[in-house]
């Protein structure tokens, strides 16, 4: 494109126009409006041409849905609904008089996220298996608004996370300065506190806005027994029947997401005081920890009622100080027991040899936590043990302590080894978070994604999956990047370049097991707000079940770092066949209003 000089600067003319259909879209429209169909699909050599007089009927659109979009069970009513929607939105015809689409109408339909999404939008996986069979959308230090050292604690990031479908909320609970109340904050840092009750009330209000499936509250507990009793009271009063109470002292198998719909579960370690007490009275029937979990429930409410009665008749005045202290300790202990018995998912911390922590108890399930560094070491030396452990138990991974800026790590290491709760700083940003967001676009965004069978069961040789092994290609994903549009609506005219339209290119690739990971890129198109790349890429996949399609758009800058133009990650297992619209998101994962790509997905 020509340029001209003004003073010391070279400037180029802006050009901005409505997005035109790429060649494959024109070809598909021509083929089906001329009574075609079959014979190689879109992209095959054809002599069909499009004229402005051609119109696509509902019957022809149905054939396109079946043959190109892979929607083999589509019915004529769905095609009619699409046409009706286009008539209303594009032409403002409430009761449309013409039952056909022009080429521009057809292109508008293909570029519509609501009508032509790239992934499945409904819950479609089996939700009746135990919780250990699912990846669960998990937050870390969910109350922090920013960095891990000095940001404010608030219920706002908790609400945001729940609205996005996060199902595991982590709260660090500490005594208030007066020792009479409970605060949530990142202990031994400069983070400001928030009252626990405020967090609990916000969780109750927003728990099931995005998903009906259970919310787990993981508590990092730094409380005394009397404050644990207060937590028990708060939790019961706040959640009522929403709170899940385990039916027995020891959980032998987790319930399913379906069975736990609209329920809130607590997950934490047993109160330290009870471990110590049991340790001093070990009967030889089991470890101190096992004995602690078997403690009989004493009702906090009954204890409090008894205390109220004694207060009313003045009998406490006859007690000496020693008796008073003893009676005072009993409500605290019973309260801590009540607190413990509200725990729906028993947690323990890794101590000693990892092989001991990863031993599978056929009579009991629970949750183990490892930091990202411990996971990396374990994946190298105990990969099979990790997978066997996660077939029945929950494994939670959390960021290392040096991630003070709320950065994140590669979640796929955990997922490849069956870890259900890969805990992330949701207030962060960056490519690791994009992968997390991409994974949980699966299964209708409900926050629970069924793990592949090879991570749930052993194979015929009683061996478990080895993600680092020499694996054969199962299928090849063919991706065609047609075009992009919407930047001119969501960005100022000078956002990318002060003197010319942007020079966009697309990076597209796979995140998954190591052998599948790769990134490729299109050519850079200069000076165009609606670039048409029309380029195709092939991705051989050994483990498509764990693969995420990474898509990023950048604007080339010869003198500085390339500008960011949008991103998304899509679970390969959820991709819809055919020509699809792909909405893009900003660095934090917020969806742009208008920016999207038109792409085609095929498995060959």
Mean pLDDT value of segment 473-500: 95
What per-residue confidence (pLDDT) applies to 388? 96
- Residue 317: pLDDT band with limits 50, 70, 90: very low
Helix (H, G, I), strand (E, B) or coil at 286: coil
Residue 250 has pLDDT above 50, yes or no: yes
In angstroms, the CA 183 to CA 193 distance is: 6
The pTM score is 0.86
What is the token pair recorded at 11? 């400037």
Per-residue pLDDT reduced to its tens digit, 546-574: 999 999 999 999 888 999 999 999 999 99
More reliable by pLDDT, 47 or 192? 192
CATH code of 131-279+342-455, in short, is 3.20.20.190
The pLDDT of residue 459: 79
Q: Is the pLDDT of residue 534 over 90?
A: yes
68 in the Ramachandran plot: left (φ > 0), alpha (ψ -120 to 50) or beta? Answer: alpha
- As given in the structure block, the two tokens for residue 92 are 């403002």
Q: Which of 96-105, 173-182, 227-236 has the lowest mean pLDDT?
A: 96-105
Higher pLDDT, 405 or 270: 405
- 3-state secondary structure at position 379: helix
What percentage of the chain exceeds 90 in pLDDT? 74
Confidence of residue 41 (pLDDT cuts 50, 70, 90): low
Average pLDDT over every residue of 334-359? 85
Q: Where does the pLDDT of residue 36 fall: very low under 50, low under 70, confident under 90, or very high at 90 and above?
A: low
Backbone phi, then psi, for 149, in 5-degree steps?
Answer: -110, -35
CA distance 115 to 124: 18
Q: Could you tell me the pLDDT band of residue 142, with boundaries at 50, 70 and 90?
A: very high
Q: At what angle do helices 321-341 and 300-313 cross, to 10 degrees?
A: 150
Structure token digits, residue 453: 């069978």
78-87, 220-229, 304-313, 350-359: least confident range: 304-313
Closest CA to 227 of 266, 273, 267, 258: 273
Least confident residue range of 94-108, 140-154, 389-403, 498-512: 94-108
> For position 330, what pLDDT does the model report?
63
Report the chain's C-alpha Rg in angstroms: 29
Q: How does DSSP assign 506-557, residue by residue? A: EEEEEESSGGG-EEEE-PPBPS-SS-EEEEEEEEEES-GGG-EEEEEEEE--
Token pair of 49, please? Answer: 């041409």
Q: How confident is the model at residue 189 (pLDDT cuts 50, 70, 90)?
A: very high
368 Cβ partners below 8 Å, 6+ apart? Answer: 347, 348, 349, 350, 357, 358, 389, 393, 394, 395, 396
Mean pLDDT taken over the chain:
86
Distance CA 532, CA 530 (A): 7
CB burial readout 231-247, b (16+ within 10 A) else e: bbbbbbebbeebbbebe
Tokens at residue 101, please? 């689409």
Rounded CA separation 67/25 (Å): 14
Report the distance separating Cα 340 and Cα 296, nearest Å: 10
> Do 516 and 462 form a contact (C-beta atoms < 8 A)?
no
Q: CB of 398 within 8 A of CB of 375?
A: no
Provide CATH 2.60.40.150 ranges for the chain: 469-603
Taking the C-alpha atoms of residue 363 and residue 65, their distance in angstroms, rounded to an integer, is: 50
Helix extents (H) in 362-411: 372-381, 383-392
Residue 264 in contact with residue 296, Cβ under 8 Å?
no
pLDDT of 305 > 80? The answer is no
- Give the range among 319-328, 424-433, 471-480, 573-582 with minimum mean pLDDT: 319-328
DSSP secondary structure of 122-142: S--S---S-GGGEEE-BBSST
pLDDT of residue 350: 74
HSE, side-chain direction, 13 A CA sphere, residue 346: 21
Better pLDDT: 568 or 301: 568
User: Which tokens go with 595?
Assistant: 């920016």
Give the model's pLDDT for residue 292.
26
CB 267 within 8 A of CB 246: no
Which band of pLDDT confidence, cut at 50, 70 and 90, is reported for residue 308?
very low
Quote the pLDDT of residue 434.
Answer: 98
Contact 450, 126 (CB under 8 A): yes
The CA-based diameter of the chain, rounded to the nearest angstrom, is 104
Contact 553, 491 (CB under 8 A): no
Per-residue tokens: 444: 């209708």
Q: Which residue has the tokens 């991630």?
A: 403
- Residue 164, pLDDT above cutoff 70: yes
For residue 52, pLDDT beyond 70: no
pLDDT recorded at residue 2: 41
pLDDT above 70 (res 81)? yes
Please identify every residue annotated as catalytic.
140, 186
**pLDDT of 311 higher than 50:** no
Q: What is the DSSP string of 361-374?
A: PTT---EEEEEHHH
Residues for the chain: how many in total?
Answer: 604
Distance CA 187, CA 148 (A): 10
pLDDT for res 271: 73
Q: What is the number of helices (H) and of strands (E) in the chain? A: 17, 23
CATH topology of domain 469-603: Immunoglobulin-like (2.60.40)
Whole-number pLDDT of residue 272: 58
Classify 504 as helix, strand or coil. Answer: strand
With cut-offs at 50, 70 and 90, classify the pLDDT of residue 368. Answer: very high
What does DSSP say about strands 343-349 and 367-371: parallel, antiparallel, or unpaired? parallel
CATH 3.20.20.190, the chain: domain bounds: 131-279+342-455
Q: What is the pLDDT of residue 273?
A: 41
Which residues on neighbouring strands pair with residue 571, listed in sequence order? Answer: 548
Per-residue model confidence (pLDDT) at position 379:
95
């Amino acid at each position: 494109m020509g340029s001209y000089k003004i003073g010391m600067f070279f400037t180029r003319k802006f050009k901005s126009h409505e997005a035109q259909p790429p060649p494959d879209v024109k070809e598909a429209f021509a083929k089906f409006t001329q009574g075609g169909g079959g014979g190689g699909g879109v992209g095959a050599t054809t002599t069909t041409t499009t004229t402005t007089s051609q119109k696509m009927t509902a019957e022809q659109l149905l054939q396109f849905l079946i043959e190109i979009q892979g929607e083999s069970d589509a019915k004529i009513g769905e095609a009619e609904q699409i046409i009706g929607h286009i008539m209303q939105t594009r032409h403002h015809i409430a009761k449309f008089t013409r039952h056909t689409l022009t080429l521009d109408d057809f292109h508008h339909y293909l570029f519509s996220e609501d009508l032509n999404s790239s992934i499945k939008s409904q819950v479609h996986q089996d939700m009746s298996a135990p919780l250990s069979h699912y990846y669960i959308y998990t937050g870390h230090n969910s109350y922090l608004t920013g960095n891990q050292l000095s940001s404010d604690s608030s219920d706002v990031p908790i609400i945001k996370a729940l609205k996005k479908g996060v199902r595991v909320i982590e709260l660090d609970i500490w005594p208030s300065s007066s020792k009479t109340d409970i605060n949530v904050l990142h202990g031994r840092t400069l983070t400001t506190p928030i009252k626990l009750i405020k967090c609990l009330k916000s969780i109750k209000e927003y728990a099931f806005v995005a998903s009906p499936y259970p919310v787990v509250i993981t508590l990092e507990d730094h409380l005394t027994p009397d404050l644990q009793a207060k937590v028990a009271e708060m939790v019961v009063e706040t959640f009522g029947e929403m709170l899940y109470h385990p039916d027995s002292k020891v959980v032998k198998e987790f319930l399913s997401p379906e069975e736990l719909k609209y329920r809130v579960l607590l997950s934490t370690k047993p109160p330290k005081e009870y471990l110590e007490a049991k340790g001093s009275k070990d009967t030889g029937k089991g470890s101190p920890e096992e004995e602690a979990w078997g403690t009989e429930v004493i009702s906090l409410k009954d204890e409090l009622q008894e205390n109220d009665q004694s207060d009313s008749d003045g009998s406490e005045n006859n007690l000496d100080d020693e008796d008073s202290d003893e009676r005072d300790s009993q409500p605290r202990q019973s309260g801590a027991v009540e607190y413990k018995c509200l725990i729906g998912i028993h947690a323990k911390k890794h101590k000693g040899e990892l092989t001991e922590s990863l031993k599978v108890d056929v009579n009991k399930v629970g949750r183990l936590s490892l930091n990202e560094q411990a996971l990396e070491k374990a994946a190298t030396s105990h990969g099979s043990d990790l997978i066997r452990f996660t077939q029945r138990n929950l494994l939670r991974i959390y960021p290392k302590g040096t991630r003070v800026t709320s950065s994140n790590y590669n979640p796929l290491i955990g997922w490849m080894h069956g870890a259900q709760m890969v805990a992330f700083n949701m207030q962060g940003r960056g490519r690791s978070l994009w992968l997390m967001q991409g994974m949980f676009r699966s299964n209708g965004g409900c926050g629970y994604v069924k793990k592949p069978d090879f991570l749930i069961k052993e194979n015929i040789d009683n061996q478990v999956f080895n993600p680092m092994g020499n694996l054969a290609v199962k299928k090849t994903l063919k991706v065609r990047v047609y075009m992009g549009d919407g930047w001119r609506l969501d960005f100022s005219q000078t956002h990318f370049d002060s003197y010319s339209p942007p020079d966009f290119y697309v990076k597209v690739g796979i995140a998954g097991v190591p052998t599948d990971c790769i990134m490729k890129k299109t050519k850079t198109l200069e000076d165009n707000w609606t670039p048409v790349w029309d380029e195709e890429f092939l991705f051989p996949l050994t483990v498509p079940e764990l693969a995420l399609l990474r898509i990023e758009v950048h604007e080339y800058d010869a003198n500085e770092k390339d500008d960011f133009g949008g991103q998304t990650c899509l679970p390969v297992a959820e991709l819809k066949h055919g020509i699809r619209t792909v909405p893009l998101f900003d660095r934090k994962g917020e969806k742009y209003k208008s920016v999207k790509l038109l792409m085609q997905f095929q498995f060959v």
